[in-house]
Amino acid sequence: EDQVTQSPEALRLQEGESSSLNCSYTVSGLRGLFWYRQDPGKGPEFLFTLYSAGEEKEKERLKATLTKKESFLHITAPKPEDSATYLCAVQGESGGYNKLIFGAGTRLAVHP
């Protein structure tokens, strides 16, 4: 069964304090690993897709990396507006081509 585990559950950072969020996964044939950001009262907003181990993608202060067992979302010099819940999801061969299995998310709070 495909599974996604995110850690930590919650993370509090001071503005400018860099850190990383972890997404561990088990999947039968990874088709893609997705990172989403979710603000309170909103739907998940797409950030990145990673397809193979070693791949990296960047967007502003965020950088996502992928290994065969986990993905990291690195946040460099975060600002208060980066506060949100970050969701990781995988698409595996067994779940069907389009099916996303989500982790529980990491709630990030960045304080000035």
Partner 1 sequence: DAGVIQSPRHEVTEMGQEVTLRCKPISGHNSLFWYRQTMMRGLELLIYFNNNVPIDDSGMPEDRFSAKMPNASFSTLKIQPSEPRDSAVYFCASTRGGNTIYFGEGSWLTVV
Distance spanning both ends of the chain, measured CA to CA: 41
Does residue 34 bind partner 1 (CB under 8 A)? yes
CB 33 within 8 A of CB 90: yes
Counting contacts by CB under 8 A, is residue 96 touching partner 1? yes
Work out the number of other CB atoms within 10 angstroms of the CB of residue 67: 13
| DSSP string of 2-54, one letter each residue | -EEEEE-SEEEEETT--EEEEEEEE-SSEEEEEEEEE-TTS--EEEEEE-STT
- Measured from the CB atom, the residue of 16 and 29 that comes closer to partner 1 is 29
**Residues in contact with partner 1, shown as a per-residue x/- string from 45 to 74 under the rule CB under 8 A:** xx--x-------------------------
- Should residue 43 be labelled a site residue for partner 1 when binding is judged by CB under 8 A? yes
Choose the stretch contacting partner 1; rule: CB under 8 A; options: 12-20, 34-42, 51-59, 66-74. 34-42
Applying CB under 8 A, the residues found at the interface with partner 1 are: 34, 36, 41-46, 49, 87, 89, 96-105
